[in-house]
Amino acid sequence: MVHVSATPVLALRGVSKRFGAVQALTDVELEVHAGEVVALVGDNGAGKSTLVKTVAGVHPIDEGVIEWDGKPVSINKPHDAQGLGVATVYQDLALCDNLDVVGNLYLGRELLRRGVIDEVTMEKNARELLSTLSIRIPSVRIPIASLSGGQRQVVAIARALIGDPKVVILDEPTAALGVEQTAQVLDLVERLRERNLAVILISHNMADVKAVADTVAVLRLGKNNGSFSVKDTSHEEIIAAITGATENAVTRRAGRRSAEAAK
Amino acid sequence: MSDTSKVDKTDGVVEGQTTVAPADDPTAAAVSVVDPRLLVREEGLKGYWTEFKRKVKGGEIGSLPVVLGLIVIWTIFQLKNDRFLSAENLSNISFYLSATGMIAIGLVFVLLLGEIDLSVGSVSGLASALFAVFVVNHSMNPWLGLILTVLIGVGIGMFHGWFFAKIGVPAFVVTLAGFLGWLGLMLWLLGSTGTINIPDTGPVHLLSQRSFFMDQAIIGAYLLAALGVASLLVGSLIEQRRRKAAGVPFRTNGEIALRVGLLAVAAFVAAYVLNSSNGVSNALVIFLVCLVIVDFVLRRTPFGRKVFAVGGGIEAARRAGINVSLVRISVFAIAGGFAAVGGMFFAGQTQSASLTSGGGNTLMLAIAAAVIGGTSLFGGRGSVWSALLGMLVIQSIQTGLDLLNMNTSIQYMITGAVLLGAVVIDSVSRKSQKAAGRA
């Protein structure tokens, strides 16, 4: 089992966020430890993206506290989040098609040598990073346009790691991927955990969640609706928490059966 | 990624690093970065040829249309008039291409963003008028006048860029307004006098057809050629050494020799031809120096990288922390500045500022040059060398038509056709790039 630190790297305590008349988040709690993958699940509109954006600094929180290594911090702009060590990979990967892999990995933070872009060191570091993550792409000098969807996704994730973050947020990294590419990305998530990073994974796919996550945090209508350890929770329990359908045909039948069995 | 089976060698194999991952063991812990399906260039000349064929098929034609175009154009004109390929005429081409070429350099920046600047022709005309007014009417020092004129060009570009980046007016419309507005300002400035003749001193003399590098010394042209070849050679060798030391793929000695050799042949042949006429005009030398500097800025500095990034994906650039508005404004400022410099070159050519400066098809020729040279209208792809290559084609056509005493009407039609042809080539190559998964 993965070692989990005592103090969470990132903790949200009673976080609330309003957009006009909409209460997007109400008293949400979330803890992520180093070396832990927390899956954030919930129906559309449950507040997953809003929650992630508060951590990424896109939307400042209205109430509550964000703790970093146990100390309260304020995250008001994306820059604050990056400064702390939060890297976010959004669903639309936002890569520059015309630049090569190295160019994209270092976009906006090129390494300089006497004021000139140091392509050699960047290429060397990029190759090292990609090979430690076992990412396989044709060449680091190939334009992003010629990569497949899965390869782009792993490049986008690798890009998040260039700044040496402590928390990586992945917004539906497998949503648009095929079987093999999904497997690649899930492998990569596990490797992030092995590097002792805290990972927040947003996903609609329960199979993915069960495969890589340690903890599942469920959001429903902007509120916490349970946090489960993946090992001892069934698929149905998570689905029930997501939909709020603790009482439905399935649970009733199950309840009746167990009652009959008890007789 | 198709037809990959034949190619299995990698170039620049570095010791101590696996290059081809075992295909049957995808789960190996430390697989190499290199995908076994990778298309890699074979070693040697054959590798270049197969890679070249593949790139052409995939729509990455680069400067191929230019080379083909030049061969066709030069053949046709030479057949029609055997003075076309004479040293004197080629030397004329090399002199006259620098003015529009300067404007095209600025346009390359704008095109890299995927935008267009329709005002550069008018700005160049306005620049020559301003310079004439400063120097002739106000007896200003010509060098001061030059600096002031170029700064005004930069300011005009920033003005366009500000409307585009901050207000959100499409660049097409802003610069169309500029096209009319600056033309009007130029006509107003020259209104009473019509044409102002500029004395042949200072920058105007430097840019005129009677000013040559090292005063027509035979050694001058060869010195320039040798300098260019030597810097490519030394630069390539230094880069090769650094890459070897860092353990990343590097160019082999053969490749470097081939590239340096090609440049050497082109440079020394050009030097010989120009020497058989009058020598290398200073205007051309300044144009070439600008190309080298701008190419370096675009490819090797963070600013250049930002220009390419904004051209490739605005959202990606913004999320990477790039100030998109600033990049846009500075790119339009650069275009305005180079347009003003181009205007100075025109003033040097004609020793005057007239009501027709920068008018006519100056704008179209500059756009055509950039696009023919291989810079995409769709942004993110291109190089400033397209300004030189494209202008070689354009100026050859212009000079050729002049030699044949073609009517202006015919010249306009042919120029229009060439521009359309260039854009068609760009669009088609972009389509096949998409089909080949490279755009």
Domain end marker among A164, A182, A208: A164
Cβ of A117 within 8 Å of Cβ of B21? The answer is: no
Cβ of B309 within 8 Å of Cβ of A134? The answer is: no
Q: What is the pLDDT of residue B34?
A: 47
Is B14 a domain residue? Answer: no
Is B393 a domain residue? Answer: yes
**A130 and A77 inside one domain:** no
Is A115 a domain residue? Answer: yes
Q: What is the pLDDT of residue B252?
A: 84
- Are the beta carbons of B209 and B349 closer than 8 angstroms? yes
| All residues at 6 or more sequence positions from B109 whose CB lies less than 8 Å from its CB, including other chains | B298, B307, B331, B334, B335
Cβ neighbours of A123 in B, within 8 Å: 246, 248
Cβ of A117 within 8 Å of Cβ of B321? The answer is: no
Q: Give yes or no for B30 touching A (CB within 8 A).
A: yes
**A147 and A233 inside one domain:** no
- Band of residue B29 on the pLDDT scale cut at 50, 70, 90: very low
Of B37, B242, B248, B306, which to mutate for an interface test with A (greatest number of A Cβ within 10 Å)? B248
**A18 and A81 inside one domain:** yes
Is B160 a domain residue? Answer: yes
* Minimal CA separation from B311 to chain A, in Å: 8
Nearest CA in chain A to B11: A139
| B393, two tokens | 């084609």
Residues from A in contact with B at Cβ < 8 Å:
79, 90, 92-99, 103-104, 107-110, 112, 115-117, 119-121, 123-124, 127, 130-132, 134-141, 143, 145-146
Is A205 a domain residue? Answer: yes
**A188 and A74 inside one domain:** yes
Task: For residue range B361-414, list pLDDT tens digits in order.
Answer: 888 889 989 988 888 888 888 889 989 998 998 899 888 988 888 888 888 888
Which carries the bigger pLDDT value, residue B24 or residue A153?
A153
Task: For residue range A114-168, list pLDDT tens digits in order.
Answer: 889 988 999 998 988 888 777 778 788 888 888 888 888 888 888 888 878 889 9
- Are the beta carbons of B342 and B76 closer than 8 angstroms? no
Is A196 a domain residue? Answer: yes
Task: For residue range B245-263, list pLDDT tens digits in order.
Answer: 888 888 888 888 988 999 9
The CA-to-CA distance between both ends of chain B, in Å, stands at: 13
Q: What is the pLDDT of residue A252?
A: 66
Q: What whole-number percentage of chain A has pLDDT above 70?
A: 94
Instruction: Tell me how many residue pairs between chain A and chain B have CB atoms under 8 A apart.
Output: 114
- A147 is in which domain, residue-wise? 96-164
Q: How many domains does one find in chain B? A: 1
**A251 and A185 inside one domain:** yes
Domain end marker among A115, A137, A164: A164
- B136 is in which domain, residue-wise? 68-211+281-430
**A181 and A204 inside one domain:** yes
What is the mean pLDDT of the segment spanning B193-214? Answer: 85
DSSP structure class, residue B34: B
- Measured CA distances, B145 to A231, B138, B270 (Å): 78, 10, 33
Which CATH number covers residue A80?
A: 3.40.50.300
Give B76: exposed, middle or buried? Use CB within 10 Å, 0-12, 13-18, 19+: middle
Q: What is the pLDDT of residue B439?
A: 52
Strands (E), B100-252: 196-197
Residue B32 has its nearest CB partner, among A94, A95, A131, at: A131
| All residues at 6 or more sequence positions from A218 whose CB lies less than 8 Å from its CB, including other chains | A41, A42, A224, A225, A226, A227, A228, A238, A241, A242
- Band of residue B9 on the pLDDT scale cut at 50, 70, 90: very low
Is A90 a domain residue? Answer: no
Is B256 a domain residue? Answer: no
Which CATH number covers residue B138?
A: 1.10.3470
Query: Which of the residue ranges A132-146, A234-248, B279-293 would you say has the lowest mean pLDDT?
Result: A234-248
Cβ neighbours of A99 in B, within 8 Å: 305, 308-309, 312
Task: For residue range A58-68, list pLDDT tens digits in order.
Answer: 888 888 888 99
Q: What is the pLDDT of residue A263?
A: 66
Is A91 a domain residue? Answer: no
**A171 and A155 inside one domain:** no
Q: Give yes or no for B381 touching A (CB within 8 A).
A: yes
Is B222 a domain residue? Answer: no
Task: For residue range B289-348, list pLDDT tens digits in order.
Answer: 999 999 999 999 999 999 999 998 888 888 787 889 999 999 999 999 999 999 999 999
| B271, two tokens | 């030097």
- Band of residue B212 on the pLDDT scale cut at 50, 70, 90: confident
Task: For residue range A30-66, list pLDDT tens digits in order.
Answer: 889 988 999 988 888 888 888 888 888 888 888 888 8
**A24 and A78 inside one domain:** yes
Q: What is the pLDDT of residue B237?
A: 92
**A126 and A201 inside one domain:** no
Is B93 a domain residue? Answer: yes
Q: How many domains does one find in chain A? A: 2
